[in-house]
Each structure stands twice: as C-alpha cells, then as structure tokens.
Amino acid sequence: MRPLLWIASALAVARAEDGLDGWLRYARLRDCHTGGQLDDFATSIVALNATEGAPLHTAAHELQVGIQGILGLELDVSDSVTDKDTSSIIVATAQAYEDEFGSLPEAVDLIEDGFYLSNKGDDTVIIGSNERGALYGAFEYLSMLAQGNFDEVAYSTNPDAPIRWANQWDNLWDNGTHGPVERGYGGVSIFYDGVGHVREDLSRVPMLGRLLASIRVNGIVINNVNADPTILSERNWDGVEEIANLFRPWGVRIGMSLNFASPQTFGGLDSFDPLDDQVIDWWQGISDEMYERVPDFAGYLVKANSEGQPGPLTYNRTLADGANMFAKTIAPHGGIVMFRAFVYNHLADWTDWHADRANAAVEFFAELDGQFDDNVVVQIKYGPIDFQVREPVSPLFSTLRETAMAIELQVTQEYLGQQCHLVYLPPLWQTILDFDLRVDGQESRTRDVLNGNVFGKKLGGYTAVTNVGMDPTWLGSHLSMSNLYAFGRLAWDPTLDSGAILDDWTRLTFGLGRSVRETIRAMSLESWPAYENYTGNLGIQTLTDILYTHYGPNPASQDNNGWGQWTRADGDSIGMDRTVRNGTGNAGQYQPEVAARYEETETTPDDLMLWFHHVPYTFELHSGKTVIQHFYDAHYAGAETAATFPKRWETLRGRVDDERFEHELYRLTYQAGHSLVWRDAINEFYRNLSGIPDVHDRVRHHPWRIEAEDMTLDGYVPVDVEPAETASQYRAVVTNGTGTAATTLDFPDGTYNLAVNYYDVVGGNATYSVALDGKTVGTWQGDAEFRLGKFPSEFLDGHSAIRVTFEGVPIRRGDELVVTGVADGSEQAPLDYVSVLPLGVVD
C-alpha cells in the first residue's frame, strides 16, 4: 500500500461566516445529530486510480476535508484496497472499480456524469460514470452527512440533460456604464482586473469551481455575451488557460463568449463575413489555439445581431451560417456552440399595434430549423422578452424540432430585485419547466424538450446567468445563494420540489435548526409571489425602469420607445394585444391547443392576462376582481408580506451567526421599505392614469404621513421628482448644505414606529438625524450604495427611494418633529416624507 500524501487544506476549517464557502461549510455536527454513527464509521478513503489535478483526486480530498469538518474524523486516503476487512469509503470511476473488483454493484446504471452511491453501515461506495460523476457522488455523500443523514442508501442518479452551464457576464474593462460584471451585484469580476486582463490573483476561481461541482454544473462561460474581442489578446491567452486549469480539478469546463466582428475589429481583416475563407481561417486559428491550450474547452457562446452586437446579418448571411462557422471550427475537437436566440429589433415601431418583440425569436429562428450543425445549441431565454417577473414560456421551445436547445435562466436578479430583495426563483422557473407545450397534442413539458425527449435530441439542457463577484457572499446577499444552489439541482433533476431544495440548502448553509429552516423556507417561498405582487401584475412585466438600471419602479419607461417591452397603457385600458384575431399574433406561435387557450381571455390565466390581452382597467378577471383593483390589492398584499420579512428574520437572532444575521437583516429591512416605494409608485401611476379610485380607499390616502414639502423648511427647498410617482405627492426636498424640515405632530399620545422616506443616491454620504422636542430619536447616513453593494441611481427616483424606521417611539400630541439633513458631495440629503405609524400599521 502506498499512502498518498494530501496537503491539508485550510478551506473548511474555522473561517468566519462570511459566506465564501456558501453551502459547503462542513460545520461540525452536534452529537445529538451523529447519534452513535461515529463508532462504526469508515476508517479510510480509497480513491482508485486518482491522478493529481483530476476530479477523482479532488473527490477524495473533499471527502477527507468534509468528514474532518462535519464529523471530526481524520481519515487516511489511499489508492488501493489492501485489507478487505477494514471499512472504507471507496470512490472510483466505473471502469476503475470494475478493474479492481471484477464487476459493478447491480444497481449501477449510469450515463455521462452520473454516479452511484451506496452507504451500508461502515461501507460507502461512490462510483462515477466518469471522474466528474465520482466527484458529484462525493459531494452528495458529504451533503447527506452535513445534514445529519446517515441513512442506508444504494442508488444511481443521472443528469436530466448534458448541458449544465453557468454564464458569467464579466467585462474585461471596468470603465463603461455596465461595471465590472454586467448585471452583477456581487462585486468586481473574479476573472478580470478591470483594465483589460485576466487577474493575477485567481484564487476565487477554484472556490467557485468547488461550489459549481457540488451542484453538478459542468461548464462555465467566463466572459460577457456582449463580448470584448481583446479576450483573445496574447496576454489573455495565458490567463484563459490558467482559468481552465483552475476549474479542471472540479470537472468544470470553460467556455468563451465571442464577438462576431473580431476578425475585423481585432484581427485586422477587412471583413467578418462568416462565409469568407479568410474569416473562417482566422476563427479556425483561434479554435486550434484554444484546444491546444485548453484541450477540454467546452465551447463558444455567441450573441449576434442583438442589441447592437455585430452578426452574420450584416453580410446578408443567416444566423445559422454564423453559428455553423464557429461550430465547424470546434467540431473536430468535440466543442459546441451555444447560439443565443435573443435576437430582436430594439428599434421597433411602437406606434404599430401589430409589432411585437415577443415574436422575434420564432420569426428569426423557425425558418432556420434543420440548418444548424449538430454541435450548435440554440440558447433560449425562458420567456419571449427578458427575464421578467412573469412570462409565458418562449414559444421557440415548441417550434424547433430539428435543433438542439438549452434554456437560459437568470440567477442574478436583474429584473427581480438585484439581490437587494429576497426573491427565491425556482417557483418561477418551474412555471416554465413544468409547462406543457402540447407538441402535436401530446404532453410535452419544457423540461422534456430540454432533455431531448420530445424531439429526440442528444444535446440540450440548462444555462443560468450567474454573475458572482469578489464579494465574500458571491452574489451580494447570503440568501440569494439559494438560487444558485437550486439552479444546479434543477438542471440535474427539474422535477425536484422547490421547497425541498431549499431545505437542503438551508441546513447546509445555516445548520440543522428547525426554526431557521422553517423561517427561511416560508419567507423564500412567499418571496417571488410577494415581489410579483408589489411590482408588475397579471403578466404586464416587472414595470421596472427598463431604460436605466432595471431596478426600481418606472412603468412609463416600458412604452413609447423601440425596446418593445410595451404595456400599451392609456387612460382606459392596458395590456399587449397578442391575439391572432386582432393583435400581434404572438399567441399563434404556440402549439394549437396552447394557442387557442391564449387567444381568448376566457381561457387565459389571470397571471398572464395582460401579456396576451389589451383590456379595460375595469375588465373582470377570473378572480372576480377588476384589473385595476387587482393591481391595488396585490400591491398592498405584496408590501405587507415584505414587511413581515425583517420581523421573521429577527426571530432567528442568536440562531444564525451575527455576521450573516446582520447582513440579511439590513437587506430585508431595506426590502420592506422599498416594497412600499414600489407599491405606492405603481398604484399612484395607474390611479392617475385610469382615474379609478381604490375601492378600499388606501391609494392616495395616507393618514399617518407628513410630506416633507409641507413642513417648515430651513435650508431645504422643494423639488419635483421624476418619475413623479416615485415621490409621495410627486415632490421631495433637497439642500446644498444643512437643511431642517420641522412639523408639530397632531396624533394621539402613544407609541409609534417613526419612518422617514428619503433618497440615497450615489455621489456622497449625506447625514441625517430626526429629533422629537429637541431629543434625538435616531441618525443615519445615505450610504446604502456601500451596504447594498450596487449602483443605485444618481437621481431622485424609484431606485434611490429608501426608508429608515425607528421602532417603538413614544409620541405626544404637540411634539415638535425635526428632520435635519446635511448634504455630502452631490447627495443633497433628499427627503420625501415622514410616517408616524401606529404599531402594526404598514404605510
């Protein structure tokens, strides 16, 4: 026997709970959870045929580190079974296992990346179809142990689809408007230095590889789809190779986004025509060099002729010509091309009732079906528009019968609160994955298109825009990591239950306490419905500002521009007419049974009513409510749900470590306040537009509110806010130096929660204080951009609007309330209003 020497890893040993290890903390189980299991636990790990730097080697090491962390047991690792009597954890590929033992256990039934796990007494066997599968099996076993699960098991599990990729939208340059990671809210890039190069310090890369491997993600595209050709510069080749080397031990292969015009803009050719021999040779040279350096390179990702990106249409070539050009250069090496279906005209004519961006994907791609090479996969966003809070499934999934397809999900919450709002996404994803597309009148769920069953394709699967960054939490918020975790789990098995996935994640991330698990589960499962309630309802889209940061409310930004996210809201009616009969015909892009359902309001579900139909605000939904009253009610209900989040999280004080507890408390408190900004902005916008009052008289009726502009001002001056509905009564006050806003309170004596709504813009940290009869109640700073870790806004608007609350304040009639603001830089200590709220009132 030749014991292998393993370098002790610092990875899992006592680190502050900063989030870096995500769900792979390997926290020590308490005795009550191990319950005698340790007495006859395996005494060694046997890794058959492990080679340094390969996933099987990683698996053995991870088992060693994990078991040491979780159970406190030091296990040796060896590379052969010497004494059949000692108990061990055997980890191997099927081939190596068979070579050693002559045959495989009966239940071994594996396809690529699959694994078999058997755990009986002190014998554990992990067999991968390949080394990657063996690593997945090791992570599965560790996940069981970490959750205190010592059950006897013996099963094989296989991926539902071969493609399970992360997409990172990392930029090489951090000098544009999009920041270091486009739509990234977790800090700067882990790959690039922001001035055009791969970073020197790539220490986060293997850590990400480890997280991805544990959720069985087997590929990652390492640069933005809006691709910068300089990734192909001489210096960056070495960096790209290094990134691939760092991911390889984790079984994660890299892919790269390409800029279609590179041969011209970067290579110095006079063309980028995909049928030009010089262009083809140029790309062949790139692909050959790539495989020379990265022999297991996964493939390319291409965004062409979309949102201003160059593409084959420039030369009157088809999108298939473009995709196939790349595909041919990497087919001999086994690579694939992920070609994005996100092609549309962003300069569409909004005055044309029949124009529709939602039609674009089918219009561009349907006629190309059958023309793509076998190693091209069309990568399709889940809905026809763009990662909105509610969309129907993209009809392209039931249109392309001869083309491999993958879905594009978004872990980074671009239109869903940007990690400043808790929004657990799997329930949204499952509305798409579970949807029955009725291809040829047969049951055909989207997930069965992706795994190839519906159209008999071998390739296909799942991608997600992840956009982790250098923040220790990876995504900007600890709780957002459940979305990344769930993405991998669902890509492996899309039939899993969203709540069950969350339970696993919570145990691994925060420990086995029941109240922690139940609280996080309940909040998370309510979070997407709540977010939909307080943003855009009934399929009207998120209603965020689509022309600026995609974050706060700005319903008017949807319409009257070429981007095609129209709501067609006027004084009487709202919604896109996507019927075949009278509208854009989009409903007709679905298979006949689905098309018939979406054609009529009678059979369209309420939550997509305004996606498919233009109706009066007084239109009666299946629920019995009118459209406008649904808007009002949903917004009040959603904000009320969000208001419970900080209170529920508060019950976990002491049960979650302080570091992560405080981090999330800040965010959930912020969310509760921002959900009111959303509620009031959307309700006011449609109240004004429709002229129809809320039957419950809440909209425009805020009895506990005092407008800043109505107070006695000194140093503060009133300003109009744009969009108007993002300020209470449309106005706020600002100061260049020090301002005070004073008022005499006229509320019955009692205890109140005192809330102040203000704006926190970038460009300074204004300071504020609020006092009652000369006694300071509280002070705060306009520094949310540092604490939320995202660029809010330079303006007073729905992105920068924010609330601070002081709880349990004793107030007497006649008290003098004074808010003092001191401007800093371009932040003019803006104030919107003060709310003096009886306990329990949310307003």
Ligand X SMILES: *[C@@H]1O[C@H](CO)[C@@H](O)[C@H](O)[C@H]1NC(C)=O
Binding to ligand X, residues 586-625 (CB under 6 A) = 614
CB of 175 to ligand X, least distance (A): 4
173 counts as binding ligand X under rule CB under 6 A: yes
- Beta strands 712-714; 717-720: pairing state: unpaired
What mask of x and - would describe binding to ligand X in positions 347 to 366, judged by CB under 6 A?
Answer: ------x-------------
324 vs 726, which CB is nearer to ligand X?
726
Which residue stretch of 74-82, 182-190, 601-609, 732-740 sits at the interface with ligand X (rule: CB under 6 A)?
A: 732-740
Dist CA 712 CA 816 (whole Å): 11
State which of residues 62, 577, 680, 843 lies at the interface with ligand X (CB under 6 A): 577
DSSP lists the bridge partners of residue 751 as 810
- 417: phi > 0 → left, psi -120 to 50 → alpha, else beta; which? left
95 binds ligand X (CB under 6 A): yes
Residue 80 one-letter amino acid:
S
228 binds ligand X (CB under 6 A): yes
Region of 168-176, 244-252, 595-603, 788-796 interacting with ligand X (CB under 6 A): 168-176
Each residue 175-214 as x (binds ligand X by CB under 6 A) or -, in order, gives xx--------------------------------------
Nearest to 781 by CA among 755, 753, 760: 760
571 forms part of the interface with ligand X (CB under 6 A): yes
**Residue window 103-142: x/- pattern of binding to ligand X, with contact defined by CB under 6 A:** ----------------------------------------
Place of tokens 């290890």: 21
From the list 641, 683, 743, 800, which residue makes contact with ligand X (rule: CB under 6 A)? Answer: 641
Q: What tokens appear for 620 in the block?
A: 């009666």
Q: What is the 3-state secondary structure (H, E, C) of 712-764?
A: EEECCEEEECCCHHHCHHHEEEECCCEEEEEEECCCCCEEEEEEEEEECCCCC
Q: CB of 173: closest distance to ligand X in angstroms?
A: 3
Q: Which residue has the tokens 């091309």?
A: 337
* CA-based torsion, 395, 396, 397, 400: positive or negative: positive
HEC states along 459-504? Answer: CCEEEEECCCCCCCCCCCCCCCHHHHHHHHHHHHCCCCCHHHHHHH
Strands 153-157 and 163-167: unpaired
Query: Of the candidates 88, 430, 735, 800, which one interacts with ligand X according to CB under 6 A?
Result: 735
> What residues contact 8, with CB distance under 8 A and at least 6 apart?
none
Which residue of 87, 738, 765, 769 would you call a contact of ligand X, by CB under 6 A?
A: 765
Can you point out the beta strands (E) in 374-528? 376-381, 404-410, 461-465
Q: Which of 86, 712, 736, 826 binds ligand X (CB under 6 A)?
A: 736
Helix (H), strand (E) at residue 125: strand 123-128
| Residue 49 beta carbon to ligand X: minimum distance, rounded to whole angstroms | 4
Q: Of residues 99, 270, 292, 307, which has the active-site annotation? A: 307
For ligand X, give the closer residue by CB, 463 or 757: 757
Binding segment (CB under 6 A) for ligand X, from list 46-54, 65-73, 365-373, 604-612? 46-54
**Residue of 140, 448, 526, 843 that binds ligand X (CB under 6 A):** 526
Nearest to 604 by CA among 586, 622, 584: 622
User: 315 vs 548, which CB is nearer to ligand X?
Assistant: 315
Q: Is 229 in the site for ligand X (CB under 6 A)?
A: no
Tokens of 134: 């063996």
What residues pair up with 381 in beta bridges, in sequence order? 408
For residue 838, which phi and psi values (nearest 5 degrees)?
Answer: -55, 145
In the complex, minimum distance from the CB of residue 758 to ligand X, in angstroms, rounded to a whole number = 15
Interface residue with ligand X, options 3, 8, 99, 750 (CB under 6 A): 99
414 is catalytic: yes
Beta bridge partners of 123: 120
What's the closest the beta carbon of residue 627 comes to ligand X, in angstroms? 12
* Closest CB 637 distance from ligand X, rounded Å: 4
Q: Between 23 and 632, whose beta carbon lies closer to ligand X? A: 632
Residue 582 sits in the site that holds ligand X (CB under 6 A): yes
If you ran DSSP here, which 8-state letter would residue 7 be given?
P
Nearest-angstrom CA–CA distance, 298 and 228: 19
Determine contact, residues 336/376, Cβ cutoff 8 Å.
yes
Cis previous bond, 105, omega within 30: no
Which span (48-56, 117-125, 330-338, 430-438) binds ligand X, by CB under 6 A? 48-56
Taking the complex as a whole, the smallest distance from the CB of residue 689 to ligand X amounts, in Å, to 5
Give the C-alpha distances (Å, rounded to integers) separating 226 from 261, 303, 387: 12, 7, 17
Phi, psi of 239 (to 5 degrees): -65, -45
Least Å from the CB of residue 593 to ligand X: 23
- What CA–CA distances, in Å, run from 645 to 421, 480, 531, 668? 10, 15, 12, 6
Span 496-525, contacts to ligand X by CB under 6 A: none
The reply on whether position 337 binds ligand X by CB under 6 A is no
**Structure-block tokens of residue 401:** 């019968």
DSSP secondary structure code for residue 4 in this structure? P
| Per-residue interface string for the shown chain with ligand X, residues 775-794, x marking contact by CB under 6 A | --------x--x--------
Hey, CA dihedral for 111, 114, 120, 123, is it positive or negative? positive
- Catalytic annotation, pick one of 160, 391, 414, 577: 414
Active site residue 448: no
Q: Which of residues 270-299 bind ligand X (CB under 6 A)?
A: none
Query: What is the closest distance, in whole angstroms, from the C-beta atom of residue 688 to ligand X in the complex?
Result: 4
Among 20, 33, 43, 49, binds ligand X (CB under 6 A): 49
CB of 278 to ligand X, least distance (A): 16
- Return the H-helix or E-strand segment holding 119: strand 115-120
From the list 17, 62, 182, 386, the catalytic residue is 386
> Closer CB to ligand X, residue 279 or residue 336?
279
Residue 828 CB, shortest distance to ligand X, in Å, is 6
Q: Is 807 in the site for ligand X (CB under 6 A)?
A: no
Binding to ligand X by CB under 6 A, coded x per residue (else -) over 685-724, reads ---xx---------------------------x------x
> How far lies 637's CA from each of 295, 337, 669, 818, in Å?
54, 45, 17, 32
Backbone φ and ψ of 25, nearest 5°: -80, -25
From the list 75-83, 150-158, 393-401, 636-644, the region that binds ligand X by CB under 6 A is: 636-644
Asked if 369 is an active-site residue, the reply is: no
- The pair phi, psi for residue 653, each rounded to 5°, is -55, 130
Among 4, 12, 496, 637, binds ligand X (CB under 6 A): 637
Shortest spacing between CB 54 and ligand X, in angstroms: 5
Compute how many residues bind ligand X; rule: CB under 6 A: 39
How would you classify the pairing of strands 44-47 and 775-781? unpaired
Query: Among 42, 65, 77, 96, which residue interacts with ligand X (rule: CB under 6 A)?
Result: 96
Gap between the Cα atoms of 79 and 87, Å rounded: 14
The amino acid that residue 9 corresponds to is: S
The Cα–Cα gap between 473 and 471 comes to 5
**Looking at beta carbons only, is 28 or 568 nearer to ligand X?**
568
Whole-angstrom Cα distance, residue 351 to residue 181? 35
The binder of ligand X chosen from 9, 35, 51, 120 (CB under 6 A): 51
CA distance 482 to 501: 9
Active-site positions?
A: 307, 386, 414
Contacts with ligand X by CB under 6 A lie at: 49, 51, 54, 93, 95-96, 99, 173, 175-176, 228, 315-316, 353, 526, 529-530, 533, 571, 577, 582, 614, 633-634, 637-638, 641, 688-689, 717, 724-725, 730, 734-736, 765, 783, 786
